[in-house]
Amino acid sequence: MSQGRDRGGRPRSEPARAAVLWAVDDLLAKVGYAAMTMKGIAELAGVSRMTVYRWWSTKAEILFEASALDAEEELTVPPDDDPFEDVTRYLEALHYFLTRSHAGAAYRALLGEAQHDPAVAALLAGRDILGDTARAVVSRVAPDADHDRATALLIGPMFFWILSGRDPARIDPADLARTFLAQISPDSRVDG
């Protein structure tokens, strides 16, 4: 099952890998994404700079590896029989994720970088965390809807509100959930 040839040689140091992932997370919180450097990560991890470059190309890659799992977990809500509750729980999780979560801070930093760095954009496109988790909710509460359109309607308002720097307290997950459910129920459609 093991991939890669492994013909002799010293195996990759797992402690080093873990230390780097931990360090990148720690630095994001302490100094912010912009001030985070490959050099700083290596030093905080107590690892040679060469070792970092051997396994990752950019700080974005490290940060993504360090936070993707957490992000997916935080945005996965247990199914609820009541669609309104289901959607509300998801939007509450999204609100927490975008404003208070550690993994969410990493996501915002990466999405910000993706606006002007195609490599980071490609990295994020490879694993659509927000889209996947939203689609899971959509397929439960509106299995027949256009999933892409529904995802945009579900995530969009809160995403815009928070990423454009508005006061997170002034947006209400329950209200958005109600609006979303009204929007995707066919009878509420206004025909052109």
**Binding residues vs DNA (CB under 7 A):** 5-13, 16-17, 37-40, 46-51, 53-55, 58-59
Q: How many other CB atoms are found less than 10 A from the CB of residue 180?
A: 26
Is there binding between residue 125 and a second copy (CB under 8 A)? Answer: yes
Query: By the 8 A CB rule, do 29 and 76 touch?
Result: no
Q: Would you give the DSSP letter of residue 36?
A: -
Binding segment (CB under 8 A) for a second copy, from list 11-19, 69-77, 135-143, 177-185: 177-185
* Among 131, 136, 145, 147, contact with a second copy (rule: CB under 8 A): 131
Euclidean distance between CA atoms 61 and 123, whole angstroms: 7
Kind plus residue range of the DSSP H or E element containing 157: helix 147-163
Shortest CB 91 distance to a second copy, Å: 12
**Which residues are at the interface with a second copy (CB under 8 A)?**
32-34, 84, 108-109, 111-117, 121, 124-125, 128, 130-131, 148-149, 152-153, 155-161, 163-166, 170-171, 174-175, 178-179, 181-183, 185, 188-192
